[in-house]
């Protein structure tokens, strides 16, 4: 699995994202497009960023009945994204339907990654609101195993969970890890963080980095630093 740095382009408009991406004239970063930008600008933003030569992780976290997810994934696959995702809570039949929808007539498809429990959900909230009483790390590993059973490629998880996911699901099962900060940088609202070098050490396959790059005085230098620490 080729390690790569994915830049979370959490901008509200196309203009802002293009101003940001225009700075990268050398290596074109793998870009994460989330709900805010996608809902604001629509599929045209995906086509344009792709046309500019970037790989794309379309982070829309689908969760609906299998038939709806199958048909929606077919549309996303047609946008030629490289990676997309869904909620493992949608269950194995939904994840299998997603894979069917995502697979193009020539047999190729984007990587499909599952969200297990959102990092905004803690043990107390999960018990109170979802009536799930198992320890949250077991729930996360169970959802990861379900994603693997359904044929998915991996999960989004904290870098602190990447090693355990690989132990449970094998090294080929991809871990995509946000919550990355430089050793000398601001942590912001992320609670459990690792540096790019530590994320590499614990076996993350892709790190997702937002503000340490997008809010840096020199975003290209910050991106290069991530690549040097994580990929090289």
CA distances from 185 to 17, 194, 196 (A): 23, 11, 12
The residues annotated with a catalytic role in the active site are: 61
Residue 103 beta carbon to ligand C5P: minimum distance, rounded to whole angstroms:
25
Residue 112 beta carbon to ligand C5P: minimum distance, rounded to whole angstroms:
16
Task: Report d(CA 152, CA 114) in Å as an integer.
Answer: 7
Name the residue nearer to ligand C5P (CB basis): 75 or 215.
Answer: 215
Q: Among all residues, whose Cβ is closest to ligand C5P? A: 210
Beta strands in the chain (DSSP E): 4-8, 30-34, 56-62, 83-87, 111-115, 154-156, 174-177, 206-209
Name the residue nearer to ligand C5P (CB basis): 10 or 229.
Answer: 10
Residue 58 beta carbon to ligand C5P: minimum distance, rounded to whole angstroms:
12
CA distances from 198 to 7, 79, 166, 182, 188 (A): 18, 34, 16, 10, 18
Closest CA to 62 of 121, 12, 139, 114: 114
Name the residue nearer to ligand C5P (CB basis): 119 or 125.
Answer: 119
Closest CA to 102 of 153, 29, 171: 153
**100-122 b/e with 16+ CB inside 10 Å = b?**
ebbbeeeeebbbbbbbbbebeee
Task: Report d(CA 69, CA 97) in Å as an integer.
Answer: 7
Name the residue nearer to ligand C5P (CB basis): 99 or 194.
Answer: 194
Helix (H, G, I), strand (E, B) or coil at 34: strand
- Taking the CA atoms of 139, 145, 149 and 153 in sequence, report the sign of the dihedral they define: positive
Name the residue nearer to ligand C5P (CB basis): 118 or 172.
Answer: 118
Residues near ligand C5P, by CB under 6 A: 8, 10, 34, 118-119, 156, 178-179, 190, 208-212
């Amino acid at each position: 699995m080729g390690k790569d740095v994915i830049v979370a382009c959490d901008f509200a408009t196309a203009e802002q994202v293009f101003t940001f991406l225009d700075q990268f004239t050398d290596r074109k970063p793998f870009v994460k497009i989330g709900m805010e930008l996608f809902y604001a600008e629509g599929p045209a933003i995906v086509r344009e960023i792709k046309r500019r030569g970037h790989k794309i992780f379309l982070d829309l976290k689908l969760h609906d009945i299998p038939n709806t997810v199958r048909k929606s994934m077919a549309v996303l696959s047609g946008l030629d994204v490289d990676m997309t995702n869904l909620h493992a809570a949608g269950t194995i039949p939904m994840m299998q339907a997603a894979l069917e929808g995502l697979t193009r007539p020539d047999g190729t498809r984007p990587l499909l990654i599952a969200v297990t429990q959102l990092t905004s959900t803690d043990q107390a909230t999960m018990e109170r609101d979802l009536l799930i009483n198992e320890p949250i790390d077991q729930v996360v590993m169970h959802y990861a195993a379900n994603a693997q059973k359904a044929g998915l490629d991996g999960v989004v998880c904290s870098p602190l969970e990447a090693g355990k996911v690989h132990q449970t699901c094998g090294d080929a099962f991809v871990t995509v890890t946000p919550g990355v900060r430089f050793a000398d940088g601001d942590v912001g609202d992320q609670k459990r963080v690792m540096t790019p070098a530590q994320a590499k050490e614990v076996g993350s396959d892709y790190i997702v980095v937002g503000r340490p790059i997008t809010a840096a005085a020199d975003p290209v230098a910050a991106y290069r630093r991530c690549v040097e620490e994580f990929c090289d």
